[in-house]
Structure 1
Amino acid sequence: MTTGKTTKLAASVPFNAADYLQADDIPGYLAEVIHDGDTRALPLALRTAADVLGMAELARRTGLNRETLYRTLSDRGNPRLDTLSAILEAFGLRLAVQPNEQPRHRPTPHPARKRA
């Protein structure tokens, strides 16, 4: 049974992780994003962390100027290794290389095929 009345829905607001993240949480947040292994998620996570900390403070901690940071952390940004390292260090993290938990196996060459 309908009464002819409609319920007005509240306008939705885009989710912004920076609204729920504290500066003390940033190292753990970034470490989890990196640990998950989705390289596409890291630039977004770095932008979110920069929003929480503030670009001026991030510039102070990294020694990079704000323009460089804005460009690096933009949607089209592609940070150099030294820039990425400086940004991570500003959040109390460092780059490290370690073996995969599940090493990739190369296919075994077919016995009938000989290498030249």
Structure 2
Amino acid sequence: MTLATKSYNPFDYLETTEEINEYLNNAYMDDDPRVFLVALGYLARKQGMSEVARKAGLNRESLYKALAGEGNPRFSTVSRVIKALGCRLAVA
């Protein structure tokens, strides 16, 4: 018997800004930095990858690659994406 599965995007179930911030904070605290990049990718797709790329001054294809969790984007790229998403990175 084959088990049918569907793709899961956690941002489909996060409603409020507080829930999204909590998810991003938890992703950032993970020992694997790719978890945070993938979380940013989910948020960027939810807001529209083309629009986020435009706001960040990046090529859409490059943005997909940077946020796939496979690449190793520069901090400046991640910072531009965070700002384009309307988020702030804070160190506490």
Superposition TM-score, scaled by structure 1 size = 0.59
Q: Secondary structure at the match of 1:47?
A: helix
Contact 1:59 1:65 in 2 (8 A): yes
Residue type of the partner of 2:81?
Answer: I
RMSD of the alignment, in Å?
A: 2.8
In the alignment, which residue of structure 2 is the partner of 1:20? 13
| Percent identity over paired residues | 43
Question: Does residue 69 of structure 1 match 2:35?
Answer: no
Structure 1 residues not aligned, in runs of 5+: 1-9, 99-116
User: Structure 1 residue 91 and structure 2 residue 90: aligned?
Assistant: no
CA distance in 2, matches of 1:86, 1:60: 11
Cα 1:97–1:16 change in 2 (3 A) is closer
Shift in alpha-carbon separation, 1:18–1:81, aligned structure 2, 3 A = same
Q: Deviating runs (4+, > 6 A) in structure 1?
A: none
Aligned pair partner of 1:33 in 19, 23, 27: 27
Max Rg structure: 1
Deviation at 1:57, TM superposition (A): 1.4
Q: Secondary structure at the match of 2:26?
A: helix
Corresponding letter in the other structure for 1:72:
A
The verdict on how the C-alpha distance between 1:16 and 1:95 changes in structure 2, with shifts beyond 3 A counting, is closer
Gaps of 5+ in 2: none
Structure number with the higher helix fraction is 2
Q: For residues 15 and 55 of structure 2, what CA distance do their matches in structure 1 show?
A: 17
Give the length in aligned residue pairs.
90
